[in-house]
Structure 1
Amino acid sequence: MVDYSPLWDTMKKKGVSQYALIQAGVDRRTLDWLKKNKNITMLSLEKLCTILDCSPSDVVRFVKDTSQP
C-alpha cells in the first residue's frame, strides 16, 4: 500500500503549495489521487521529485497492509 504523507511533509518544509504544483504542471487529478493514496504514474513521481528537488522517498513510502493475510 502506498502512503504519500512524506509528500505533504516535504511540501511544507520547502514552502511549496498545491497551487504551485499545479502551476508547475502537476494535474489536479493527480493531486486528488495523492490525497487518497491511490497509485500515480512514474512520470508523475518524477515530475514531483523534479519540482520539489527531492528523491522518491520524500514523496512516497510503502506500508504493509495489515488487513491482508
Structure 2
Amino acid sequence: MINFSPLLKTLEEQEMTFKELIESHGFSSRTLAKIRKGESITLETIDRLCSILKVPIEQVVEILNDNGEKY
C-alpha cells in the first residue's frame, strides 16, 4: 500500500500547497485528488514531484504492508 504522508509533510515544510502544484507545475486536480485519497499515481508523477520538491522519493511516498506498517 502506498502512503503519501511524507509528501504532505514535505509540502508543509516547503510551504507549498496543492494549489501551487496545479497552477505552477501543471498537475491536474484529479492527480492531486488521487494523492489525497491514497490512490495509485504513476511513477512518472512521483518522479516529477521529487524533482520539483528536490527531495528523494522517501520524502514523497512510503510503502506499507497490509497491516499499515512500514517494510
Asked if these proteins are the same fold (TM beyond 0.5), I'd say yes
Aligned residue for 1:2? Answer: 2
Percent identity (aligned): 31
* Per-residue CA distance 1:10-39 (angstroms, 9 max, x = gap): 000011111110021111111011011111
What's the CA shift for 1:42? Answer: 1.0
Instruction: State the alpha-carbon separation in 1 of the partners of residues 15 and 26 from structure 2.
Output: 17
Cα RMSD between the aligned structures? 1.3
Q: TM-score, normalised by structure 1?
A: 0.89
Gaps of 5+ in 1: none
Q: How far does residue 66 in structure 1 lie from its aligned partner after superposition? A: 2.1
Please tell me the residue identity of whatever aligns with 2:34: W
CA distance in 1, matches of 2:52, 2:20: 9
- Structure 2 gaps of 5+ residues are none
Corresponding residue number in structure 2 for 1:20: 20
